[in-house]
Amino acid sequence: ASCERVFRPDLDGRPVVVLSNNDGCIVARSAEAKALGIPMAQPWFKLEAALRGQNVAVFSSNYALYGDLSRRVMQVLAGFCPRLEVYSIDECFLDLAGARGDRTALGLDLVRTVKQWTGIPVSVGLGPTKTLAKIANRLAKRGQGPDGPVLDWARLPDPPAALAALAVEDVWGIAKRWGARLRELGISTAQELAAADPRLLRKIFGVVMERIGRE
């Protein structure tokens, strides 16, 4: 949705949705579209009539555009650190080991530079592990940090409270099926997962879940 807005400034503040191949299902939504209650992965034909008059901009997928802008964003990010791991078309991890100065200031500089050079808005989560960095990013997107689009886990006043407010299914790497099994064990929040016995997690779910809990 952000890619479609790069060349259409008139779409700022307007609900935007992107459809899958053959305009089947909704695969991307702007914040304004989410605020309207437009659900993800729903067939467009079921919603089209109901959304008439809502000023929603609808786009067919343009994978060439998204891929090109993704590469541009990753190139900009690569200039901020010696090691970058591209995780998906719109996510990556930066290794800031050895970085000097205030990390939040670095993150804000990163956000400004990416926006200026590519037109794409990004949010930054900083953490000692990938899992905590992902959670910090999630909180930044929701506006729950003091520094806008950047949130440093180390600067949270009460990290356990932040984990306690996060459903276990919202932790990176935990699918819906795993979430249901964890809840059967009395683990419903990220904080409860962090406090769980790693040996038990490994025995029931395997090494991946153990690693998530430790992180």
210, HSE (Cβ side, Cα atoms, 13 Å): 11
- Using DSSP's 3-state secondary structure scheme, residue 213 falls into helix
- pTM of full prediction above 0.85: yes
Catalytic residue among 48, 85, 91, 192: 91
Angstrom distance (rounded) from CA 174 to CA 99: 30
C-beta of residue 203 within 8 angstroms of C-beta of residue 197: no
Q: Calculate the dihedral angle through the C-alpha atoms of 119, 3, 70, 102, rounding to the nearest 10 degrees.
A: 40
Helices marked H in the chain — which ranges? 2-6, 31-35, 44-47, 63-78, 103-118, 130-141, 159-164, 176-184, 190-195, 198-205, 207-214
Residues comprising the chain, all counted: 215
Instruction: State residue 99's pLDDT score.
Output: 80
* Other beta carbons less than 10 A from residue 187's beta carbon: 20
Instruction: State residue 97's pLDDT score.
Output: 86
Q: What is the pLDDT along the chain (215 residues), one digit of tens a residue?
A: 999 999 998 999 999 999 998 899 999 999 999 999 999 999 999 999 988 889 999 999 999 999 999 999 999 999 998 899 999 999 999 999 888 889 999 999 999 999 999 999 999 999 999 999 999 999 999 888 778 999 999 999 899 999 999 999 999 999 889 999 999 999 999 999 999 999 999 999 999 999 999 99
C-beta of residue 5 within 8 angstroms of C-beta of residue 33: no
Instruction: State residue 98's pLDDT score.
Output: 80
Could you tell me the two tokens for 56?
Answer: 């929603």
Is 91 catalytic? The answer is: yes
With CA atoms as reference, report the closest residue to 5 among 23, 42, 32, 26: 32
